[in-house]
Structure 1
Protein backbone atom coordinates (compact mmCIF):
# COMPACT_ATOMS: atom_id res chain seq x y z
CA UNK A 1 0.00 0.00 0.00
CA UNK A 2 1.15 3.50 -0.84
CA UNK A 3 -0.09 6.26 1.44
CA UNK A 4 -0.99 9.19 -0.76
CA UNK A 5 -2.89 11.27 1.78
CA UNK A 6 -3.21 11.43 5.57
CA UNK A 7 -5.54 14.02 7.02
CA UNK A 8 -6.54 14.88 10.57
CA UNK A 9 -10.29 14.46 11.19
CA UNK A 10 -11.14 14.96 14.88
CA UNK A 11 -9.87 14.63 18.46
CA UNK A 12 -12.12 13.92 21.42
CA UNK A 13 -12.65 11.87 24.58
CA UNK A 14 -16.20 10.76 23.76
CA UNK A 15 -16.44 7.66 21.53
CA UNK A 16 -19.95 8.77 20.56
CA UNK A 17 -18.40 11.77 18.80
CA UNK A 18 -15.99 9.71 16.70
CA UNK A 19 -16.50 9.77 12.91
CA UNK A 20 -19.24 7.62 11.42
CA UNK A 21 -18.24 3.94 11.41
CA UNK A 22 -18.21 3.78 7.61
CA UNK A 23 -14.55 2.84 6.96
CA UNK A 24 -12.11 0.27 8.31
CA UNK A 25 -10.34 1.54 11.43
CA UNK A 26 -6.96 0.69 12.97
CA UNK A 27 -6.04 1.94 16.44
CA UNK A 28 -2.45 2.38 17.65
CA UNK A 29 -1.78 2.13 21.38
CA UNK A 30 1.03 1.19 23.75
CA UNK A 31 2.81 2.07 26.95
CA UNK A 32 3.77 5.70 27.34
CA UNK A 33 7.01 6.54 25.50
CA UNK A 34 6.90 3.41 23.33
CA UNK A 35 7.51 5.48 20.18
CA UNK A 36 3.91 5.48 18.92
CA UNK A 37 3.87 8.96 17.40
CA UNK A 38 7.18 8.38 15.65
CA UNK A 39 5.92 5.10 14.21
CA UNK A 40 2.68 6.68 12.96
CA UNK A 41 4.63 9.49 11.31
CA UNK A 42 6.96 6.95 9.69
CA UNK A 43 4.08 4.85 8.35
CA UNK A 44 2.28 7.87 6.89
CA UNK A 45 5.41 9.71 5.74
CA UNK A 46 4.21 12.82 7.60
CA UNK A 47 6.78 14.12 10.07
CA UNK A 48 4.24 15.99 12.17
CA UNK A 49 0.99 14.06 11.71
CA UNK A 50 1.17 12.68 15.26
CA UNK A 51 2.76 14.90 17.90
CA UNK A 52 6.02 13.49 19.23
CA UNK A 53 7.46 14.37 22.63
CA UNK A 54 10.27 13.29 24.93
CA UNK A 55 7.73 13.52 27.76
CA UNK A 56 5.49 10.45 28.19
CA UNK A 57 1.74 11.04 28.06
CA UNK A 58 1.67 13.59 25.25
CA UNK A 59 -1.35 11.99 23.55
CA UNK A 60 -4.44 12.49 25.70
CA UNK A 61 -7.28 12.20 23.18
CA UNK A 62 -8.74 9.81 20.62
CA UNK A 63 -7.20 11.20 17.42
CA UNK A 64 -8.71 10.18 14.07
CA UNK A 65 -6.84 10.51 10.77
CA UNK A 66 -8.25 9.42 7.42
CA UNK A 67 -5.76 7.64 5.16
CA UNK A 68 -6.14 7.72 1.37
CA UNK A 69 -9.79 8.63 1.99
CA UNK A 70 -10.26 4.88 2.59
CA UNK A 71 -9.54 3.99 6.23
CA UNK A 72 -9.03 5.53 9.64
CA UNK A 73 -5.81 5.49 11.63
CA UNK A 74 -6.50 6.22 15.30
CA UNK A 75 -3.82 7.52 17.67
CA UNK A 76 -4.79 6.65 21.26
CA UNK A 77 -3.33 7.77 24.62
CA UNK A 78 -0.60 5.54 26.01
CA UNK A 79 -1.11 3.47 29.11
CA UNK A 80 1.26 3.07 32.02
CA UNK A 81 3.59 5.76 33.29
CA UNK A 82 2.87 9.37 32.41
CA UNK A 83 3.38 12.58 34.35
CA UNK A 84 -0.30 13.13 34.95
CA UNK A 85 -2.58 12.49 37.89
CA UNK A 86 -3.70 8.89 38.46
CA UNK A 87 -7.38 9.83 38.10
CA UNK A 88 -6.60 11.34 34.68
CA UNK A 89 -4.91 8.11 33.55
CA UNK A 90 -7.93 6.13 34.81
CA UNK A 91 -10.18 8.45 32.82
CA UNK A 92 -8.11 7.76 29.68
CA UNK A 93 -8.43 4.01 30.09
CA UNK A 94 -12.16 4.39 30.66
CA UNK A 95 -12.82 6.11 27.34
CA UNK A 96 -10.27 3.92 25.53
CA UNK A 97 -12.12 0.78 26.63
CA UNK A 98 -15.46 2.34 25.72
CA UNK A 99 -14.09 3.32 22.31
CA UNK A 100 -12.72 -0.16 21.58
CA UNK A 101 -15.88 -1.96 22.69
CA UNK A 102 -18.21 0.33 20.75
CA UNK A 103 -16.47 0.79 17.38
CA UNK A 104 -17.94 -1.81 15.02
CA UNK A 105 -15.46 -0.82 12.30
CA UNK A 106 -12.36 -1.34 14.48
CA UNK A 107 -10.64 -4.02 12.42
CA UNK A 108 -7.45 -4.29 14.45
CA UNK A 109 -5.69 -2.75 17.45
CA UNK A 110 -1.97 -2.32 16.89
CA UNK A 111 -0.40 -2.85 20.33
CA UNK A 112 3.04 -1.23 20.37
CA UNK A 113 5.71 -2.88 22.51
CA UNK A 114 9.26 -1.67 23.21
CA UNK A 115 11.32 -4.63 22.03
CA UNK A 116 14.26 -3.58 24.25
CA UNK A 117 12.35 -4.55 27.39
CA UNK A 118 11.47 -7.93 28.85
CA UNK A 119 7.75 -8.80 28.74
CA UNK A 120 5.86 -6.17 30.72
CA UNK A 121 2.85 -6.99 32.89
CA UNK A 122 0.92 -3.95 31.63
CA UNK A 123 1.30 -5.03 28.01
CA UNK A 124 0.32 -8.61 28.79
CA UNK A 125 -2.72 -7.52 30.82
CA UNK A 126 -3.89 -5.19 28.06
CA UNK A 127 -3.54 -7.84 25.34
CA UNK A 128 -5.36 -10.38 27.52
CA UNK A 129 -8.19 -7.87 27.95
CA UNK A 130 -8.38 -7.45 24.17
CA UNK A 131 -8.55 -11.22 23.76
CA UNK A 132 -11.28 -11.67 26.38
CA UNK A 133 -13.20 -8.79 24.77
CA UNK A 134 -12.94 -10.37 21.31
CA UNK A 135 -11.05 -7.42 19.83
CA UNK A 136 -8.52 -8.38 17.10
CA UNK A 137 -4.99 -7.09 17.68
CA UNK A 138 -1.43 -7.31 16.41
CA UNK A 139 1.83 -6.98 18.32
CA UNK A 140 4.03 -4.21 16.91
CA UNK A 141 7.53 -4.25 18.37
CA UNK A 142 9.19 -0.82 18.25
CA UNK A 143 12.77 0.49 18.42
CA UNK A 144 14.29 -2.62 16.81
CA UNK A 145 17.23 -0.52 15.57
CA UNK A 146 18.39 -0.13 19.19
CA UNK A 147 19.34 -3.80 19.45
CA UNK A 148 21.71 -6.16 17.70
CA UNK A 149 20.17 -9.14 15.92
CA UNK A 150 21.07 -11.67 18.63
CA UNK A 151 19.49 -9.63 21.43
CA UNK A 152 16.52 -8.75 19.23
CA UNK A 153 15.81 -12.41 18.50
CA UNK A 154 16.21 -13.26 22.19
CA UNK A 155 13.73 -10.59 23.28
CA UNK A 156 11.19 -11.58 20.63
CA UNK A 157 11.45 -15.22 21.70
CA UNK A 158 10.86 -14.19 25.33
CA UNK A 159 7.63 -12.43 24.37
CA UNK A 160 6.43 -15.39 22.34
CA UNK A 161 7.09 -17.76 25.24
CA UNK A 162 5.19 -15.47 27.60
CA UNK A 163 2.25 -15.17 25.21
CA UNK A 164 2.02 -18.93 24.72
CA UNK A 165 1.44 -19.38 28.45
CA UNK A 166 -2.10 -18.10 27.96
CA UNK A 167 -2.65 -18.08 24.18
CA UNK A 168 -3.03 -21.12 21.94
CA UNK A 169 -2.26 -19.06 18.85
CA UNK A 170 -0.12 -15.95 18.60
CA UNK A 171 -1.48 -12.75 17.03
CA UNK A 172 0.24 -11.18 13.99
CA UNK A 173 3.62 -9.68 14.89
CA UNK A 174 5.66 -6.90 13.32
CA UNK A 175 9.18 -5.76 14.13
CA UNK A 176 9.61 -2.05 13.42
CA UNK A 177 11.91 0.94 13.63
CA UNK A 178 10.79 4.51 13.05
CA UNK A 179 14.42 5.35 12.28
CA UNK A 180 15.17 2.70 9.64
CA UNK A 181 11.53 2.30 8.52
CA UNK A 182 11.73 -1.44 9.20
CA UNK A 183 8.29 -3.03 9.27
CA UNK A 184 6.60 -0.23 7.33
CA UNK A 185 5.72 -2.24 4.22
CA UNK A 186 4.66 -5.26 6.28
CA UNK A 187 2.19 -3.25 8.40
CA UNK A 188 0.73 -1.36 5.44
CA UNK A 189 0.37 -4.58 3.42
CA UNK A 190 -1.33 -6.22 6.43
CA UNK A 191 -3.84 -3.36 6.61
CA UNK A 192 -4.45 -3.48 2.87
CA UNK A 193 -5.08 -7.22 2.93
CA UNK A 194 -7.65 -6.81 5.72
CA UNK A 195 -9.33 -3.91 3.91
CA UNK A 196 -9.61 -6.00 0.76
CA UNK A 197 -10.90 -9.02 2.67
CA UNK A 198 -7.89 -11.11 1.71
CA UNK A 199 -6.24 -11.59 5.09
CA UNK A 200 -6.26 -15.16 6.37
Structure 2
Protein backbone atom coordinates (compact mmCIF):
# COMPACT_ATOMS: atom_id res chain seq x y z
CA UNK A 1 0.00 0.00 0.00
CA UNK A 2 1.06 3.59 -0.65
CA UNK A 3 2.57 5.24 2.48
CA UNK A 4 0.40 8.36 2.09
CA UNK A 5 -2.69 6.15 1.94
CA UNK A 6 -1.80 4.56 5.31
CA UNK A 7 -0.89 7.99 6.73
CA UNK A 8 -4.27 9.42 5.71
CA UNK A 9 -6.14 6.54 7.37
CA UNK A 10 -4.06 6.80 10.54
CA UNK A 11 -4.30 10.60 10.81
CA UNK A 12 -8.09 10.69 10.55
CA UNK A 13 -8.47 7.76 12.97
CA UNK A 14 -6.18 9.40 15.54
CA UNK A 15 -7.98 12.73 15.25
CA UNK A 16 -11.38 11.10 15.68
CA UNK A 17 -9.97 9.13 18.66
CA UNK A 18 -12.68 6.58 19.60
CA UNK A 19 -11.67 6.64 23.29
CA UNK A 20 -12.03 10.42 23.52
CA UNK A 21 -15.30 10.26 21.59
CA UNK A 22 -16.61 7.71 24.09
CA UNK A 23 -16.32 10.47 26.71
CA UNK A 24 -18.57 12.75 24.66
CA UNK A 25 -21.02 9.89 24.12
CA UNK A 26 -20.89 8.55 27.67
CA UNK A 27 -24.55 9.23 28.43
CA UNK A 28 -25.66 7.53 25.20
CA UNK A 29 -23.44 4.52 25.91
CA UNK A 30 -25.14 4.23 29.30
CA UNK A 31 -28.73 4.83 28.23
CA UNK A 32 -29.20 3.39 24.72
CA UNK A 33 -29.56 -0.28 23.91
CA UNK A 34 -26.73 -1.89 21.96
CA UNK A 35 -28.76 -2.04 18.71
CA UNK A 36 -30.02 1.53 19.03
CA UNK A 37 -26.54 2.87 19.80
CA UNK A 38 -25.02 0.98 16.86
CA UNK A 39 -27.72 2.26 14.48
CA UNK A 40 -27.28 5.89 15.59
CA UNK A 41 -23.50 5.62 15.35
CA UNK A 42 -23.57 4.12 11.85
CA UNK A 43 -25.79 6.97 10.66
CA UNK A 44 -23.46 9.54 12.24
CA UNK A 45 -20.53 7.81 10.53
CA UNK A 46 -22.27 7.98 7.14
CA UNK A 47 -23.04 11.69 7.59
CA UNK A 48 -19.42 12.38 8.53
CA UNK A 49 -18.07 10.27 5.68
CA UNK A 50 -20.18 12.19 3.16
CA UNK A 51 -18.90 15.53 4.46
CA UNK A 52 -15.26 14.35 4.58
CA UNK A 53 -15.45 12.91 1.05
CA UNK A 54 -16.83 16.21 -0.25
CA UNK A 55 -14.07 18.16 1.50
CA UNK A 56 -11.40 15.84 0.06
CA UNK A 57 -12.78 16.62 -3.38
CA UNK A 58 -13.33 20.38 -2.82
CA UNK A 59 -10.08 21.15 -0.94
CA UNK A 60 -9.32 24.28 1.08
CA UNK A 61 -10.54 26.41 -1.83
CA UNK A 62 -13.99 25.75 -0.43
CA UNK A 63 -13.17 28.18 2.41
CA UNK A 64 -11.11 30.77 0.53
CA UNK A 65 -12.87 30.97 -2.83
CA UNK A 66 -16.42 29.69 -2.39
CA UNK A 67 -17.20 30.78 1.19
CA UNK A 68 -14.78 33.72 1.24
CA UNK A 69 -13.57 33.01 4.78
CA UNK A 70 -10.20 32.12 6.29
CA UNK A 71 -9.64 28.55 7.42
CA UNK A 72 -8.19 29.96 10.68
CA UNK A 73 -11.63 31.40 11.47
CA UNK A 74 -13.16 27.93 11.15
CA UNK A 75 -10.55 26.46 13.52
CA UNK A 76 -11.09 29.29 16.05
CA UNK A 77 -14.87 28.85 15.98
CA UNK A 78 -14.44 25.10 16.53
CA UNK A 79 -12.21 25.85 19.52
CA UNK A 80 -14.80 28.20 21.01
CA UNK A 81 -17.51 25.53 20.64
CA UNK A 82 -15.40 22.96 22.48
CA UNK A 83 -14.50 25.53 25.15
CA UNK A 84 -18.20 26.07 25.83
CA UNK A 85 -18.71 22.29 25.97
CA UNK A 86 -15.75 21.92 28.35
CA UNK A 87 -17.00 24.64 30.72
CA UNK A 88 -20.52 23.24 30.77
CA UNK A 89 -19.11 19.75 31.32
CA UNK A 90 -17.28 20.99 34.45
CA UNK A 91 -20.43 22.45 36.01
CA UNK A 92 -23.12 20.09 34.70
CA UNK A 93 -21.33 16.82 33.91
CA UNK A 94 -22.62 14.61 31.09
CA UNK A 95 -25.97 16.46 31.29
CA UNK A 96 -24.22 19.33 29.47
CA UNK A 97 -23.54 17.15 26.42
CA UNK A 98 -27.12 15.87 26.46
CA UNK A 99 -28.54 19.41 26.48
CA UNK A 100 -26.26 20.48 23.62
CA UNK A 101 -27.46 17.61 21.43
CA UNK A 102 -31.06 18.74 21.59
CA UNK A 103 -33.89 16.53 20.29
CA UNK A 104 -33.25 12.80 20.62
CA UNK A 105 -34.69 12.33 17.11
CA UNK A 106 -31.57 13.98 15.66
CA UNK A 107 -28.90 12.08 17.60
CA UNK A 108 -26.95 11.03 14.50
CA UNK A 109 -26.56 14.59 13.25
CA UNK A 110 -25.60 15.94 16.67
CA UNK A 111 -22.94 13.23 17.06
CA UNK A 112 -21.54 13.92 13.59
CA UNK A 113 -21.29 17.66 14.31
CA UNK A 114 -19.34 18.78 16.30
CA UNK A 115 -17.90 15.51 17.68
CA UNK A 116 -16.85 13.90 14.39
CA UNK A 117 -16.76 16.82 11.97
CA UNK A 118 -14.34 19.39 13.40
CA UNK A 119 -11.39 21.54 12.30
CA UNK A 120 -8.88 18.71 12.76
CA UNK A 121 -10.83 16.08 10.83
CA UNK A 122 -11.80 18.61 8.15
CA UNK A 123 -8.12 19.46 7.67
CA UNK A 124 -7.20 15.74 7.53
CA UNK A 125 -9.81 15.19 4.81
CA UNK A 126 -8.53 18.13 2.78
CA UNK A 127 -4.95 16.82 3.12
CA UNK A 128 -6.05 13.35 1.96
CA UNK A 129 -7.60 14.90 -1.14
CA UNK A 130 -4.45 16.92 -1.81
CA UNK A 131 -1.99 14.02 -1.33
CA UNK A 132 -3.91 11.18 -2.99
CA UNK A 133 -6.02 10.59 -6.12
CA UNK A 134 -9.60 11.47 -5.22
CA UNK A 135 -10.97 7.91 -5.19
CA UNK A 136 -8.03 6.68 -3.09
CA UNK A 137 -8.54 9.60 -0.69
CA UNK A 138 -12.23 8.78 -0.33
CA UNK A 139 -11.36 5.11 0.27
CA UNK A 140 -8.91 6.09 3.05
CA UNK A 141 -11.63 8.21 4.69
CA UNK A 142 -14.13 5.34 4.39
CA UNK A 143 -11.73 2.88 6.06
CA UNK A 144 -11.03 5.35 8.90
CA UNK A 145 -14.73 5.84 9.56
CA UNK A 146 -15.36 2.08 9.63
CA UNK A 147 -12.54 1.61 12.16
CA UNK A 148 -13.84 4.43 14.39
CA UNK A 149 -17.47 3.25 14.33
CA UNK A 150 -16.47 -0.38 14.97
CA UNK A 151 -14.20 0.69 17.87
CA UNK A 152 -17.04 2.60 19.54
CA UNK A 153 -19.51 -0.26 19.02
CA UNK A 154 -17.03 -2.74 20.54
CA UNK A 155 -16.48 -0.35 23.47
CA UNK A 156 -20.25 -0.12 24.01
CA UNK A 157 -20.55 -3.93 23.98
CA UNK A 158 -17.62 -4.25 26.42
CA UNK A 159 -19.07 -1.72 28.88
CA UNK A 160 -22.50 -3.38 28.70
CA UNK A 161 -20.92 -6.76 29.41
CA UNK A 162 -18.89 -5.45 32.36
CA UNK A 163 -21.91 -3.56 33.69
CA UNK A 164 -23.92 -6.79 33.83
CA UNK A 165 -21.10 -8.43 35.80
CA UNK A 166 -19.97 -5.51 37.97
CA UNK A 167 -22.03 -2.32 37.86
CA UNK A 168 -19.90 -0.73 40.63
CA UNK A 169 -16.82 -0.92 38.39
CA UNK A 170 -18.66 0.92 35.61
CA UNK A 171 -19.82 3.61 38.05
CA UNK A 172 -16.21 4.20 39.11
CA UNK A 173 -15.09 4.30 35.46
CA UNK A 174 -17.78 6.85 34.59
CA UNK A 175 -16.88 9.01 37.61
CA UNK A 176 -13.14 9.02 36.77
CA UNK A 177 -13.69 9.56 33.04
CA UNK A 178 -16.20 12.34 33.73
CA UNK A 179 -13.73 14.25 35.90
CA UNK A 180 -10.85 13.84 33.45
CA UNK A 181 -12.93 14.66 30.40
CA UNK A 182 -13.78 18.20 31.54
CA UNK A 183 -10.07 19.03 31.73
CA UNK A 184 -9.32 17.26 28.47
CA UNK A 185 -12.12 18.93 26.51
CA UNK A 186 -11.11 22.37 27.80
CA UNK A 187 -7.44 21.76 26.97
CA UNK A 188 -8.30 20.67 23.42
CA UNK A 189 -10.45 23.78 23.01
CA UNK A 190 -7.67 26.15 24.09
CA UNK A 191 -5.19 24.33 21.83
CA UNK A 192 -7.54 24.73 18.86
CA UNK A 193 -7.86 28.47 19.55
CA UNK A 194 -4.06 28.78 19.76
CA UNK A 195 -3.67 26.87 16.46
CA UNK A 196 -6.10 29.29 14.81
CA UNK A 197 -4.15 32.31 16.08
CA UNK A 198 -0.83 30.80 14.93
CA UNK A 199 -2.33 30.04 11.52
CA UNK A 200 -3.66 33.59 11.22
CA UNK A 201 -0.27 35.10 12.23
CA UNK A 202 1.58 32.89 9.72
CA UNK A 203 -0.72 34.13 6.95
CA UNK A 204 -0.04 37.76 7.92
CA UNK A 205 3.74 37.19 7.78
CA UNK A 206 3.42 35.72 4.30
Structure with greater proportional helix content = 2
Structure with greater proportional strand content = 1
- Larger C-alpha radius of gyration, 1 or 2? 2
Say yes or no: TM over 0.5.
no
Under a length normalisation based on structure 2, what TM-score does the superposition of the two structures give? 0.24
Which is bigger in relative contact order (C-alpha 8 A, separation at least 6)? Answer: 2
